[in-house]
Structure 1
Amino acid sequence: MISKKQMFINGEWRQGATSYELKSPFSGEVVAHIPFSTKDDVLEAIEAAKKAREKMKALTVLERSQILGRVADLFEEQLEECALILTQENAKPLIAARGEILRTIETYRFAAEEAKQLTGEMIPMDAAKGGKGKLGFTKREPLGVIGAITPFNFPFNLVAHKLGPAFAAGNTVVLKPASQTPLSALKTAEIFESAGLPAGALNVVIGRGGEVGDLLVTHPDIKLITFTGSLEVGLDIKAKSGLKKTTLELGSNSAVIIDDAEDIQAIADRCVEGAFTYAGQVCISVQRIYIKKDLYETFSQAMLKTLEGWTIGNPAEETTNISALIQEKEAVRAEEWIREAVQAGADIIFGGKRHGSIVEPTILVNTPAHVSINCNEAFAPLVVIHTYDQFEEAISNVNDSQYGLQAGVYTTSLEKAFQAIDKIEVGGVIINDIPSFRVDQMPYGGVKNSGTGREGIKYAMEEMTELKLAVFNL
């Protein structure tokens, strides 16, 4: 029997006036019936979050930390159930789904720890002529109600990157998950409820971005919008949000430079993983590879060798490496991008075909700079390989992008490593690994059209608090 889900507002589970069928991206089968939140539902959720601020403020730091610790424990107990939810709602292969839940657990554990580390500092007031006899210090206070809008690709862990720091800092949240991945958000709400989070501190509303999302973005009681998603939506949020704070993670067309290598097969393995894990639907997926010309032949053959062992198919099967894209229209778009590149002179050395919602892992070479696969974010299992002669040329090509989230650089030269760190225009430079590397306590975010602000629990907590100064006249 197909389950009928409920939204979560003010600590209560409730039906929606209308609902929609949530379908598996892989099989097309109906997974659940999901409620649509109305404008009144969203307004009630915001009001509940506003009223719950006092309950959150009354919690000690230890109590907030303990709630987040219990959340991590509950995810650990229900790991397999949560992983299966991912295979259903976003076709994430089971092995990758388990990996996401393990990261989700770690993210909440980091939040539990960071809740205890939110401190201010003493200010040396008498360093100024007029400061004699004054004592000054700062403290960080929660902003209040956070509006969190999350994407489909990591629906447990990216929700954790919103909720973990928000609650660690003492805020309340209205969460709008992607319409294709509400089950993970609702499961997260169940777990927080079981962990003892005060009623109203977390509210989950579901609906279209142009309705539910816009209401969150423009409502005066929402003090910060934290959003992960497309550049177009991020720009719209920035335009509509007024003076409220925003943190926007808007994607990339991440590049890796391979200048020198001791183990070319190991690098090829990592690039295959970075380009094609979860069908490339990762903000820091490897999309552009710039390799020194004399390494190209060995490297490309090594990538092909690795891909021969990959399995395409049902995400619920243990052996599957790659499955369906989130919607068939995205697979069609990827197919069009491949066709555009080939018509412009590119060559396909692996893959290139579409089967319904599934796109084969695809490697292209001789791809002109102006085509979509080079300029825009693919969010599909597509990667291009370019060769270069001079390291400076590779850096220039990496920077020739509207995006700047993360970049990877493989080199045995310390001088070139620091040159890359200084010259590449991104939020994070990963030396001797792919740009897809991320652990959940590190600062994460981009420059240019990749967004504003930083995630990573400690850094997100700074975004989600206000700095207050206190001065005593002694």
Structure 2
Amino acid sequence: MRIAGRKVGDGRDGDRVIPVFNPHTEQRIGSVPKATLDEVREAFETAHAFQPKLTRAERAGILQKAAAIIRERLDDVAGLITAESGLCLKDSLYEAGRVSDVLLFGANEVLKDDGQIFSCDLTPHGKKRRVYTQRSPLLGVISAITPFNHPMNQVAHKVVPSVATNNRMVLKPSEKVPFSAIFFADILYQAGLPPEMLSVVTGDPREIADELLTNPRVDLITFTGGVAIGKYIASKAGYRRVVLELGGNDPIIVMEDADLEEASSLAIQGSYKNSGQRCTAVKRMLVHEAVAGRFTEMVVEKTKAWKHGDPLDKASDMGTVIDEHAAMLFESRVKEAVGQGARLLAGNQRRGALYAPTVIDNVRPEMTVVREETFGPVSPIIRFRDIDEAIRISNGTAYGLSSAVCTNRLDHITRFVNELHVGTVNVREVPGYRLELTPFGGIKDSGLGYKEGVQEAMKSFTNLKTYSLPWA
């Protein structure tokens, strides 16, 4: 791991290591240290003792240089992501490109003045003054915790806004995919980042999680991951700012006027890209009964053509899921749904962590496979009668992250935008579509309403200061 840039542990320290396995080959590809509480505390103390003084130009330069290094080493980055996560090379190369985008957007945002000016003589009660605002780094340290499903891009979305705002961060990546985070940190150090501004600690969450949440040096906790852990963090954080980006149960809603060729292509891409392991993946296909038959046929046809297998095969459209346990969960949920009356039309075949893209029809909203977040390549099809029922079904879960709607009717689009209880509505696009710059986040069990995306994260990672001056 890296404590202020210093390498700590070599992954061979007896029992104090966490092995990392390739989900496809099941071979051990390495190990990382299991941090002690003292090491975590050292990371926070070192970060807190350092006061960054980087100018905007210097911060932008570091992020631009890191982006260039990523672009020069796309194959290395993609190979590492594939090795520890099981994602196919197509998905890993796409993620590596997105990481470069995050860095470049961060560099650009640094160069924008983020203050405001208010004239005070706007009412008879005003004065000849002006009020100004400016954003300042947090007084304490940011504690960041990232999940397995985007091993480097999730890390970039925490680290880049921190660097851009002259903050200090201690990052704990998922113990399943730690090497991408460490590699990203090394690239930033190479690009000129003062090492005290970023530490990466690896370890067993059961041992170190509470320290990451309650250390007195922590000013803000930013977490991406599951709902249960997110709510635990909220309960432990106390008087600290918390940014939680949690799960999703995102629908694609296909109306009777939709272009079915387009809608079915979006549906399977949204379901199977990244092995279905996206909080914004299509997890429910809500289809108008007038077109459900033809739509279902097209989804099955395209699913069977979706090549899954060896993640290193450049022809593969999908690799493995994160581990065999996850694949077994998807398999069991589909079997449960079939036992309750759903029809299995494709897939639900498993070998280790390799799980086939799966389509089930005649799904009802109360079935576990769609009531809960099924975080894998499963396409459950739910039929509805009219837009009122579509909206009711869509809103009928604990989640509220994103959505996709396929229709050309402006009156329907307007209703979906206004009435779906989600953070994002994408028209004729997958639920997960966004730029790395734009606001992203959910409501209800999908998060606290704070947005990610480089621009919004930079706001969350700063304190707003207001001052005023006489102005004739």
Match of 1:15 in 2: 9
Q: Secondary structure at the match of 2:216?
A: coil
Equivalent position of 1:4 in the other structure: none
Deviation at 1:473, TM superposition (A): 5.2
User: Counterpart of 2:219?
Assistant: 223
1:436 deviates by 2.4
Secondary structure, aligned partner of 2:195: coil
2:432 to 436, 442, 461: 436
How many residues align structurally? 465
| Post-superposition CA distance 1:151-210 (Å, at most 9, x none) | 111111111111111111111110100001111011001101100001211100001223
- Distance in 1, matches of 2:262 and 2:182, equals 39
Q: For residues 373-396 of structure 1, give each alpha carbon's deviation from its aligned partner in whole angstroms, at most 9, with x where no partner exists.
A: 111111111121111221111011
Select which of 80, 89, 95 maps to 1:94: 89
Instruction: Say yes or no: does 1:155 pair with 2:151.
Output: yes
Aligned counterparts of 1:118 and 1:286: Cα–Cα separation in 2: 37
Match of 2:318 in 1: 322
Q: What amino acid does structure 1 have at the position aligned with 2:343?
A: D
Give 1:83 deviation, angstroms: 0.3
Aligned pair partner of 2:112 in 117, 134, 137 = 117
- Could you tell me which residue of structure 2 aligns to residue 82 of structure 1? 77
Other-structure match for 1:467: 464
Instruction: Give the 3-state SS of the residue equivalent to 2:319 in structure 1.
Output: coil
1:409 deviation in Å? 0.6
What letter corresponds to residue 391 of structure 1 in structure 2? I
Deviation (angstroms), 1:441? 1.1
* Residue number in structure 2 paired with 1:187: 183
- The answer to whether the 8 A contact 2:323-2:352 is kept is no
Q: Do residues 406 (structure 1) and 402 (structure 2) align?
A: yes
CA–CA distance in structure 1, aligned partners of residues 113 and 153 of structure 2:
22
* 1:292 Cα offset (Å): 1.3
Could you list the per-position Cα deviations for residues 192-241 of structure 1 after superposition, in whole angstroms to 9, with x for gaps in the alignment? 11000012111000012233222111112111111100000000000011
Correspondent of 1:458 among 451, 455, 460 = 455
**Alignment counterpart, residue 364 of structure 1, candidates 350, 355, 360:** 360
Distance in 2 between the 1:36 and 1:209 partners?
A: 10
The answer on whether the counterparts of 1:344 and 1:368 sit within 8 Å (CA) in structure 2 is no
CA contact (8 A) 2:87 2:321 kept: no
SS at match of 1:294: coil
Aligned to 1:397: 393
Do the aligned partners of 2:142 and 2:167 also contact (CA within 8 Å) in 1?
A: yes
Secondary structure, counterpart of 2:290 in structure 1: helix
Superposed, 1:33-432 pairs within 5 Å as: 33-52=31-50, 54=51, 56=52, 58-127=53-122, 131-143=126-138, 144-261=140-257, 263-432=259-428
- The offset of 1:124, in angstroms, is 2.8
**Alignment root-mean-square deviation, CA:** 1.4
- Range moving further from structure 2, 117-126 or 182-191: 117-126
Note the C-alpha offset of 1:128.
Answer: 5.9
For 1:230, the aligned partner's letter is G
SS for the counterpart of 1:200 is: helix
CA distance in 1, matches of 2:288, 2:366: 21
Offset, 1:278: 2.1
| 3-state SS of 1:159 partner | helix
Which stretch shows the higher mean deviation, 291-300 or 257-266?
A: 257-266
Question: What displacement does 1:35 show?
Answer: 1.1
Taking structure 2 as the reference length, the TM-score comes to 0.96
Determine the C-alpha separation between the residues in 2 that align with 1:269 and 1:131: 58
CA distance in 2, matches of 1:459, 1:59: 21
State the shift of 1:114 in Å: 0.5
Conservation of the 8 A alpha-carbon contact between 2:254 and 2:406: yes
Partner Cα distance (2:350, 2:418) in 1? 40
SS of the residue corresponding to residue 287 of structure 1 reads: strand
Q: In the TM superposition, what is the alpha-carbon distance from 1:445 to its structure 2 partner? A: 0.1
Contact 2:37–2:208 (CA<8 Å) still a contact in 1?
A: yes
TM-score normalized with structure 1 length: 0.95
CA distance in 2, matches of 1:110, 1:237: 29
1:86-122 Cα shifts (integer Å, max 9, x gaps): 1110001001100000011011100000111241111
Q: After superposing the two structures, state which structure 1 stretch, 373-382 or 176-185, moved more.
A: 373-382
Task: Give the 3-state SS of the residue equivalent to 1:80 in structure 2.
Answer: helix
* In structure 1, distance between residues paired with 2:394 and 2:340: 21
Amino acid at match of 1:333: L
Contact kept, 8 Å, 1:175 with 1:204, in 2: the verdict is yes
Q: Work out whether residues 170 and 200 of structure 2, in 8 Å CA contact, stay in contact via their aligned partners in 1.
A: yes
- Cα displacement (A) at 1:311: 1.8
Compared with structure 1, are the counterparts of its residues 118 and 208 closer, same or farther at alpha carbon in structure 2 (3 Å cutoff)? farther
CA contact (8 A) 1:206 1:212 kept: no
| 2:259/2:406 contact within 8 Å kept | no
- Give the Cα separation in 1 of the matches to 2:426 and 2:239: 34
2:365 and 2:382 in contact (8 A); partners too: no
Partner of 1:98, secondary structure, is helix
Identity of aligned residues (%): 33
- Provide structure 1 residue ranges, at least 5 long, that are not aligned to the other structure: 1-6
Superposed displacement of residue 134, structure 1: 3.4
Unmatched segments (≥5 aa) in structure 2: none
